[in-house]
Chains A and B, each alone.
Chain A
């Protein structure tokens, strides 16, 4: 019997899939088709990692992020420290000094109070180390089975530096692309502790606050065009977002991208591409060519940027497309993934 139906995958519009949270094309589609039509306004429409607001002559950066991570504790951090660093970094990418944070907890019935205590303590330490205060918050408890132990939302406010106007839309042909260090550490550290995949590694998450690195960079050169932290979706998604937003092309150099041996090895075994693996303590900077050297030096003098590198240039070719010069001198596309990166069979 032949059924006359087409094997067209249904456009993922009827149900939320895990891929909608991956930071790839499905996430962008949700934004474009569900959120922006109802909520769109000139500030939100810019789709930066933070909103920049003018209030009584001061410019504020305002950002929110929700953290769901499994396992809750991993080498190099836990969901608590991550939730503080993540929002600080979203503010910092707008050129802001983070000042205040809120924290909201969604707890699953049955969670051990001691576990929560450890996480909150680590949030406090992370906030103190970064010089921000957590000044308001909320707690909700859901029935067992309705959540996965614990989710955290943090929201932050920061003060944007005078004279600084960072936006992905600012990138223009000729600009230089800088990266603040090794990519893929966070994603691989988390994967290595996930049920069913576990493997031995000393690799630690790179979870860290980046605002003091940004401070040094902007003091050196306030004309930086754009800063982004390549979290979920990895370096490739971030570059694709910038290329799309500024309608420019980008060419990166495979041999210039810092990737640790352990990350490359794990990615080979798992069939993943490090360009799509998440980071929690790295940034990408788009800088005018005349400032690139100075900014790179400033980055390398900061502990969070010791392994910074120039990884490519912004071009006028193929607007919206990121290409990579391989070690063999050939060129290939670095595409945005549609959903999560899936391990290949062979």
Chain B
């Protein structure tokens, strides 16, 4: 496949791997932030190629995983109402709330539809003026511009039947939280390429100099991740802490200004609860006052209740890179993608689910030895 196979070339991968083996003289712990990157690492077994002294831990960058249970419950309540057409990205449907999930709502007669684009939800609102169309606006800075565009368009057209149930999260505040933790082990970050395509990487420069920690903006293909790892190791071995950009084919320092501007017209930063981690100051978006009429949380007047997570789940430590999924006694036994106990097992981008899907064999081999 053109423009893709170039980034999956095994010979080039091998040469990057030997480079990393040569460079890494000390022990380093690196974190990839984004769930898409975790997925690639697991799918291609990239971390198996790295030397033992370079450890990759997996960050909180799975928006599906960190969406709070309360928000899932809200979505379920809204989607169950007969006048509502509830539109969502596909992988949110399986995420269990405290009592049910959106697949079940659909089975019980709720009008729940999967889409690839929020603009499709606007189309549905145009065609169904007599019904309330609610789009589940989930994701990091990556999906925020498209979601902002959808509600902007709906407002401009006077589509009063279109609203967003917003659960947007932002990467830099989460990184700050990780770095402030006394238990932090992470010495270098692979910053999320898609997020930086929108946001640029200047906001990571402040974090790099404040915490004296290197960042490399990385892409999502195997070679991207190997190259980003190599760049991080080189910085660490040289005692540097800069922000470098591996994903130059997509990311600039300034990012996409037009997208960011539209986003900030529509959304404002807000304190946000992350499933498995807790509340992080100004780490999410909510709709601005001007868009209150398109804010599903206000239209449907839902109160916020907080729902307890099962005590056994070690999501908080996994999402902060303090523990590996396989350190959890419930992993693969009481907690599987079919019956997830907590956040990182609910979507294939979550660290636990990625381990379960691609890496369980390592465990069974250990067990049979």
Contact = CB atoms under 8 A, between A and B. Distances in A.
B45 A330 contact: yes
Contacts of A16: 107
Contacts of B45: 326, 328, 330-332
Interface string A250-282: 000000000001001100101000000000000
Interface string A1-42: 111111111111001111100000100000000000000000
Interface stretch (A147-155, A286-294, A336-344): A336-344
A248 to B, nearest CB: 14
Contacts of A331: 45, 48, 361
B104 A10 contact: yes
A2 B10 contact: no
B128 to A, nearest CB: 14
B358 A346 contact: no
A270 B90 CA distance: 11
Given A2-B306, A327-B10, A9 B339 contact: yes
Given A323-B361, A335-B356, A342-B93, 20 more contacts: A3-B306, A5-B308, A6-B310, A7-B341, A8-B339, A9-B96, A9-B101, A9-B338, A10-B100, A10-B104, A196-B116, A270-B116, A328-B10, A328-B13, A328-B49, A332-B43, A333-B361, A335-B358, A342-B94, A346-B35
Contacts of B285: none
B338 A345 contact: no
Contact of A8 (B92, B341, B356): B341
B60 interface: no
B204 to A, nearest CB: 18
A9 B336 CA distance: 10
Contacts of A261: 1
A268 B1 contact: yes
A119 interface: no
B210 interface: no
A115 interface: no
A197 B138 CA distance: 20
B114 interface: yes
Contacts of A9: 94, 96, 101, 338-340
Contacts of B143: 345-346
A22 to B, nearest CB: 11
B18 interface: no
Nearest to A11: B339
A318 interface: yes
B100 A328 contact: no
Contacts of A5: 98-99, 307-308
B365 interface: yes
B194 interface: yes
A265 B107 CA distance: 32
14 contacts: A3-B98, A3-B307, A4-B308, A6-B308, A7-B307, A7-B342, A17-B103, A18-B106, A18-B107, A264-B4, A328-B46, A331-B48, A344-B349, A345-B63
Nearest to B362: A331
A329 interface: yes
A310 interface: no
Nearest to A323: B361
A308 B138 CA distance: 42
Interface residues of B, number: 73
A321 interface: yes
B89 A343 contact: yes
Contacts of A342: 90-91, 93-94, 114
Contacts of B69: 7
B98 A6 contact: yes
A327 B8 contact: yes
Contacts of B365: 317-318
A318 B365 CA distance: 8
A345 B7 CA distance: 21
Contact of A333 (B194, B308, B359): B359
Given A9-B338, A265-B1, A321-B361, A17 B107 contact: yes
Contacts of B101: 9-10
B309 interface: yes
B315 to A, nearest CB: 11
Interface in A110-144: none
Interface size class of A (residues with CB under 8 A): 35 or more
Interface string A205-216: 000000000000
B209 interface: no
Interface in B81-129: 89-94, 96-101, 103-104, 106-108, 113-116, 120
Contact of B46 (A330, A343, A344): A330
Interface string B22-58: 0000000000001110010011111011000000000
A7 B97 contact: yes
A18 B103 contact: yes
A318 B361 contact: yes
Contacts of A330: 44-46, 48-49
Of B49, B99, B365, chain A has the most CB atoms within 10 Å of the CB of B99
A306 to B, nearest CB: 22
A3 B304 CA distance: 11
B139 interface: yes
B94 A7 contact: no
A18 B114 CA distance: 13
B109 to A, nearest CB: 11
Contacts of B116: 196-197, 270, 343
Interface centre among B34, B194, B337 (most CB of A within 10 A): B337
A332 B359 contact: yes
B91 A345 contact: yes
B317 interface: no
Contacts of B72: 7
Nearest to A317: B365
Contacts of B94: 9, 339, 342
B96 A345 contact: no
List 3 A-B pairs, minimum CB-CB distance, nearest first. Answer: A330-B45, A9-B96, A342-B90
